[in-house]
Structure 1
Amino acid sequence: MLSSLVLAATLATAPAPRAAASAKTLVHVPKVDALTGLAAFLERAGQHAALLRPSAWRTELHPFLAVDPTRPQSLSELGLDPAGPATVSMRNDGRVSCMRVADAKVFQAKAAEAITAAGGAEAKPTTRGGVTTVHADRDMGGSMGYAMKGKEVCAFGAIERGGADLLEESVRLVGKAPARDARLGKVPGVAFVVSGNTVVGLDGTANALQVEGVTTKLQLPVFQARGTSPYAAMNSEGLLSSRASISPMGVFQTVDTMRSTLQVLCPTCPKEQMVSMAKAVTKQLTGHMLVNMDHVQVRGSLRAMSTRFFAVRQAVAAEVKDVAAVKAALAPLGKLPDVLVLEDGWKLPLKGGNVFVRIKGKQLVLGNEESVTQATLAALTETGTKTEHPVDFAVDPKRVARGLAQISLTDILADELLAALFAASSELGPLLARSERITGWMDAAPGGAHRVSLTWPLPPQ
């Protein structure tokens, strides 16, 4: 309760963003000198992922001045206030960066030097209605400049020459007090990124990155109210371990998706019978589920559904209400071609591998690799534990890096998604291989959105 009040008070007093109209993406920092912890993490992470190095994006904070968040003194040297806010608005026609001025004369001198060095024609400041403006076209195309009133300054960089719209927008932004953005009050952080209905708050230290966000872009089942889960106390050292509590509709969607996938891998399985079994099992599930992804082992082209399904060696557990009813619903599995009936379930031979359906106590487990299925069964308990969030997860970044490294060149050239994963592997793979286990949680948010939080730790220095 106390932490919530502190957060609310902090957000209430934080400077509001001077956000440009029509901004596609907004980056807001309430206090630039508060970025030192986050910058320290990025400095360490950047040793293994060049994209994260502060030196790689410090020029993005201002259209023509190099602002170094790792060194607040650099802002003072530019005549800017390191204790003030910074807001960067990304638009289709360019960007606007608003900050607070500490020394107007120093800022104007540094701005004139930077504009000239960037190829901008010399332009003298003009003052009208208390607003000082500078506007210069670049020899290589585009334009830049700023509008300053009192201690507030908004600088712009336009893609096209002229840049009248961005200059006008800069004048408007310094001319009145900024309006509070309710989206920024949804998450904690020292820096915020807003894009559409997604807002992300960032904070960190030299040893860990903290990310919390709210978004409507996640295609996830509807979560149900928190309760007692049989999986809350379980620990896994695999690639991904996730405990979830989902609504009846979410259970139906999850089971039907799995049924559809198995149907593709088993074209000879009677569809009506598979649908009937899925519906019967769905009625007996409580909504508490566990996903245990152990490792990645690619055999063949990932363009094939069978290869994708068996690439991640995993098992899924679900709590059932009536064990006898579930066994009766799944009994027809024993009559399918080549199915092996086990003491506690069934082994289904499919294209690309085997699927195991097994029951232990009130737990139904489905896995695509025998050892992972057995390990999941062995870890199950009948003791429930109260949960704080509908979804908790833990990721082994080292196993993620090894998995991404298995994407083949032919798959990269033929599939955009796999090409994106390969790009992520190339950029983040070395960092993932040197990171500690990433943990996080998810919760429901108003308007059908999801709230996500994760902690990305690095080895202690």
Structure 2
Amino acid sequence: MLSFVLATTLAAAPAPRATTASGTVVHIPRLDALKGVTAFMDRAGQNAALMRPVVWFAELHPYLSLDPSQPETLTRAGIDPTGPITVSQRSTGRISCTRLTDPKAFQERAAAMLESAGSKAEVKPTTSGGVTTVSVPRESGGQAGYALKGQEACAFASSGGGFVDDGQGQVLLKEASRLVSKAPKADARLAQLPGVAYVLMPERGMVVGVDGSGSELRLEGTATELPLPPFQTAGTSPYGAMKPEGMLVSRARVAPSGVAQAVGGVRASIQQVCPACPPAQVSAVARAVAERLTGNVLMVVDSVRSRPNLRTPEGRFFAPRQALAAEVTDTAAMKAALAPLAKFPGARTLEDGYALNVQGGSVFVRLKGRHLVLGNDEAVAQSLVTGLPQEGAKLPHAVDFTVDPKRLSRGLNQVSLMDVVSQQELAAIFAVGLELGPLLANSERISGWLDSTSGGAHRFSSTWTLPASP
């Protein structure tokens, strides 16, 4: 029975014609099934040029212009608009494999494009062992061409070498020839994910299925290399019934074996903004706290402070106004575990905990019943303390999250050009804010979930929602 199920799964699984040693692979089982994703990109592209379909379609082929939303652009190039396409991105270039309806038309269109690229060599196909190949130098450097056998074609373009042939063009030609010479193997991982397109990142152990509509973009995937602790299975959380608002709200059920890892990340952040705090004692408190947590956690990032100083570690720590709540196993034992904080430099004793005055602000540690609350903003921490529910509720997944895209857009706008000049790692955040900020400001919500699976892997899902009406 098991072998029958496995055989059925493999029979239904997409089969990417992907090259080895790829950094990223994009596989689309049917080019004509992208209408929903294209509809979302069309709307999103009105506020973010990066999201426009034309930008992404330009990456489908090394030198042909293809637009799946206009099937005639495919048929003119001899490509089957109902067939698959697999794009393999390597450090040395790109290979795109397609199914053909008219091999002659494909060869003619490919020859015209290769000649227009400025090649001084004649575009002359050669055939050996049933595989027809073309490889010519490009004026911009590198090699380009294709391998064709029957109804299958794999086109390539190498990216290195400049005006000197570095041999990578021949490597890609050999790989393209191999790909058209044998049927691709079915990938059962893709059959387990919903989607009309799939993105594979082998080095990260990640596979993502993509689908969409005019108002939603949906991603669901699996990953083996996420830097996350293990999580418990779905179950009751003391924060399950809460509906807190914020730029980011996330609830999680961390597995007992992952609690120390999660607390360790918080400890490292506090130690960084409180260099005067004795490291041995900080670590001792962190260990004692971790031993008294159930693993149920709630994280709330309310917003980003106006004009934060992002050029220092403490400035980046206090930039997001945030707090987290964690369920404790024993209130009295947790109170004893926190007692050493009273002797830390800059510590103030509060009615229900402590405040640590550190570089850039204050860290608040409060204990309310069976909940430990830690925050870097007094108002956010207090709001979380007063909003803690009396009863819990079941969570369908180990982790869930919601993002308010409008607050996120405002937060990204707090990163200035001068911040980037002073702190290069902020460049990516600045670029995201510049490119996607207007789209986020006109989006409704971003939400998702994550579960642990066998072998330390994770399964995740995310949905980006635009307003129902443009």
Query: So what's the TM-score if we normalise by structure 1?
Result: 0.91
Deviation readout 1:163-217 (Å, 9 max, x if unpaired): 3222222222111111223443453221111122222221111111111222234
Contact kept, 8 Å, 1:353 with 1:368, in 2: the verdict is yes
- AA of the residue aligned to 2:297: M
- AA of the residue aligned to 1:147: A
Contact kept, 8 Å, 2:26 with 2:198, in 1: the verdict is yes
**Superposition RMSD in Å:** 2.5
The CA deviation at 1:43 is 1.8
Report what 2:15 is aligned to: 16
Q: Is 1:191 paired with 2:197? A: yes
Contact kept, 8 Å, 2:24 with 2:199, in 1: the verdict is yes
User: What is the distance in 2 between the residues matched to 1:135 and 1:333?
Assistant: 69
Report what 2:109 is aligned to: 110
Report percent identity of matched pairs. 55
- AA of the residue aligned to 1:239: M
For residues 26-45 of structure 1, what are the structure 2 equivalents within 5 Å? 26-45=25-44
Report what 1:3 is aligned to: none
- AA of the residue aligned to 1:31: R
Q: Which 10-residue stretch deviates more, 330-339 or 274-283?
A: 330-339
Q: Is 1:433 paired with 2:432? A: no
Report what 2:141 is aligned to: 141
Q: Is 1:280 paired with 2:288? A: yes
The CA deviation at 1:338 is 5.5
Deviation readout 1:288-317 (Å, 9 max, x if unpaired): 000011000155532322212211111110
1:234 aligns with one of 207, 232, 242: 242
Report what 1:165 is aligned to: 171
- AA of the residue aligned to 2:136: A
Assess, with a 3 A threshold, how the Cα gap between structure 1 residues 217 and 298 changes in structure 2: closer, same or farther.
farther
Report what 2:319 is aligned to: 311
Report what 1:203 is aligned to: 211
User: What is the distance in 2 between the residues matched to 1:264 and 1:89?
Assistant: 41
1:266 aligns with one of 249, 260, 274: 274
Q: Which 10-residue stretch deviates more, 95-104 or 275-284?
A: 275-284
- AA of the residue aligned to 2:170: A
- SS of the aligned residue for 2:58 comes to helix
Q: Is 1:449 paired with 2:448? A: no
Q: Is 1:80 paired with 2:88? A: no
Q: Is 1:385 paired with 2:387? A: no
- AA of the residue aligned to 2:365: V
Deviation readout 1:359-401 (Å, 9 max, x if unpaired): 2221111111122112212221131222221110111122112
- SS of the aligned residue for 1:60 comes to coil
Report what 2:183 is aligned to: 177
Report what 2:429 is aligned to: 421
User: What is the distance in 2 between the residues matched to 1:105 and 1:215?
Assistant: 41
Report what 1:225 is aligned to: 233
Deviation readout 1:214-273 (Å, 9 max, x if unpaired): 223422222123321011221122010000111223222222332343334334445444
Contact kept, 8 Å, 2:14 with 2:188, in 1: the verdict is no
User: What is the distance in 1 between the residues matched to 2:276 and 2:363?
Assistant: 15
Q: Is 1:397 paired with 2:396? A: no
The CA deviation at 1:431 is 1.4
Deviation readout 1:381-428 (Å, 9 max, x if unpaired): 131222221110111122112112112333211322212211121121
Q: Which 10-residue stretch deviates more, 63-72 or 326-335?
A: 326-335
User: What is the distance in 1 between the residues matched to 2:377 and 2:303?
Assistant: 10
Aligned residues: 457
Contact kept, 8 Å, 2:12 with 2:191, in 1: the verdict is no
Q: Which 10-residue stretch deviates more, 403-412 or 203-212?
A: 403-412
Report what 2:68 is aligned to: 69
The CA deviation at 1:15 is 4.2
Contact kept, 8 Å, 2:308 with 2:414, in 1: the verdict is no
The CA deviation at 1:110 is 2.1
For residues 293-308 of structure 1, what are the structure 2 equivalents within 5 Å? 293-297=301-305, 301-308=309-316
Deviation readout 1:316-373 (Å, 9 max, x if unpaired): 1011111122223223444556644333333333222222222222111111112211
Assess, with a 3 A threshold, how the Cα gap between structure 1 residues 362 and 64 changes in structure 2: closer, same or farther.
same
1:366 aligns with one of 351, 357, 374: 374
- AA of the residue aligned to 1:368: N
Report what 1:54 is aligned to: 53
The CA deviation at 1:145 is 2.0
- SS of the aligned residue for 1:153 comes to strand
Contact kept, 8 Å, 1:251 with 1:282, in 2: the verdict is yes
The CA deviation at 1:11 is 6.9
Q: Which 10-residue stretch deviates more, 368-377 or 296-305?
A: 296-305
Q: Which 10-residue stretch deviates more, 23-32 or 350-359?
A: 350-359
Contact kept, 8 Å, 2:114 with 2:123, in 1: the verdict is no
Contact kept, 8 Å, 1:75 with 1:82, in 2: the verdict is yes
Q: Which 10-residue stretch deviates more, 217-226 or 389-398?
A: 217-226
Contact kept, 8 Å, 2:325 with 2:371, in 1: the verdict is yes
Contact kept, 8 Å, 1:14 with 1:30, in 2: the verdict is no
Q: Is 1:346 paired with 2:345? A: no
Assess, with a 3 A threshold, how the Cα gap between structure 1 residues 351 and 134 changes in structure 2: closer, same or farther.
closer
For residues 122-137 of structure 1, what are the structure 2 equivalents within 5 Å? 122-137=122-137
User: What is the distance in 2 between the residues matched to 1:452 and 1:417?
Assistant: 26
Q: Which 10-residue stretch deviates more, 331-340 or 366-375?
A: 331-340
Assess, with a 3 A threshold, how the Cα gap between structure 1 residues 379 and 73 changes in structure 2: closer, same or farther.
farther
Q: Which 10-residue stretch deviates more, 333-342 or 21-30?
A: 333-342
Q: Which 10-residue stretch deviates more, 262-271 or 369-378?
A: 262-271
Assess, with a 3 A threshold, how the Cα gap between structure 1 residues 344 and 93 changes in structure 2: closer, same or farther.
closer
User: What is the distance in 2 between the residues matched to 1:72 and 1:237?
Assistant: 44
Query: So what's the TM-score if we normalise by structure 2?
Result: 0.90
